[in-house]
């Protein structure tokens, strides 16, 4: 039902009224753009800081997991050393009860093997300990950077919140005006307006003719075309930049 009502309203609008509504919409959207420009690059800076903080936290967590894994490996090697020491003690006791040199030599080889196993495990423990120290050092550096970035984020968020608080009420009013204007303009024109606006660096889709030139790209408009624009009998776009052109008197009406 609402859609049908909108269609009826659009049909009743003259070309001049459509141009006036489009120009009003442009003025409101430009005002919104100016409000958002006040925020500058802060939203992007906040997002970058949040991404960096997340990356640093992930890095610290990964190193913590690595250290935990290395600690388990060290404990495993310590247990292997304890087991080897028990076997050496056992073999040494068995040597006291051997019946011949062959059994003694066999036990001596087992003792020698377990001794080598202990040395290898001790070497691995030293290597793991060095790796843990290196990772702890990186964690310390990362946490230091992380704390700094969190402080930066806190300050940036406060700065952004202050700007938003100052402009939010005005922005809400303008956004409601923009939405109401879009409701009375036919969808085809709104769609074209948004497409042109999206392609324009300054966000201007509807511009007046100023000093015989397009108010968007500043190319000269032929006299006959200016008369057509001033008559407000059809919607005319700039042949150079594609913006919708309105008579400069629209500005005078706004003022």
- Write the pLDDT tens digit of every residue in 143-152: 999 999 999 9
pLDDT of residue 226: 93
Lowest mean pLDDT among 72-76, 164-168, 210-214: 164-168
pLDDT of residue 8: 41
pLDDT of residue 251: 56
To the nearest whole number, what is the mean pLDDT of the chain?
A: 90
Contacts 24+ apart (CB under 8 A), 2-6: 6/183, 6/184
Higher pLDDT, 131 or 98: 131
pLDDT of residue 250: 64
Tens of pLDDT, residue by residue over 35-73, are 888 777 888 899 999 999 999 999 999 999 999 999 999
CA-CA-CA-CA torsion sign (195, 181, 232, 219): negative
Which of 29, 21, 30, 65 lies closest to 246, judged by CA? 21
Kindly provide the b/e burial profile for residues 120-134, where b requires at least 16 CB atoms within 10 angstroms of the residue's own CB.
ebeeebeebeeebee
Domains and CATH numbers, the chain: 2-37+186-254 (no CATH), 42-167 (1.10.287)
- Which positions ≥6 away from 233 have C-beta within 8 Å? 15, 16
């Amino acid at each position: 039902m609402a859609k049908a009502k909108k269609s009826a309203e659009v049909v009743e609008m003259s070309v001049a009224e459509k141009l006036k509504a489009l120009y009003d919409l442009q003025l409101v959207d430009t005002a919104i753009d100016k409000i958002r420009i006040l925020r500058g690059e802060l939203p992007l800076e906040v997002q970058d800081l949040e991404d960096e903080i997340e990356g640093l936290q992930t890095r610290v967590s990964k190193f913590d997991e690595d250290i935990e894994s290395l600690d388990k490996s060290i404990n495993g090697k310590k247990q292997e050393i304890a087991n080897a020491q028990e076997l050496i003690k056992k073999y040494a006791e068995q040597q006291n009860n051997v019946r011949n040199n062959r059994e003694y030599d066999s036990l001596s080889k087992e003792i020698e093997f377990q001794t080598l196993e202990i040395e290898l495990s001790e070497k691995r423990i030293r290597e793991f300990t060095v790796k843990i120290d290196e990772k702890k050092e990186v964690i310390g550096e990362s946490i230091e950077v992380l704390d700094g970035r969190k402080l930066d984020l806190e300050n940036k968020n406060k700065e952004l919140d202050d700007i938003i608080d100052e402009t939010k009420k005005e922005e809400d009013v303008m956004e409601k005006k923009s939405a109401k204007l879009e409701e009375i303009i036919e969808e085809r024109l709104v769609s074209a307006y948004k497409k042109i606006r999206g392609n324009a660096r300054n966000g201007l889709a509807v511009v007046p003719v100023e000093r015989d030139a397009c108010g968007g790209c500043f190319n000269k408009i032929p006299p006959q075309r200016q008369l057509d624009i001033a008559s407000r009998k059809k919607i005319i776009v700039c042949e150079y930049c594609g913006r919708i052109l309105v008579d400069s008197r629209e500005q005078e009406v706004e003022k």
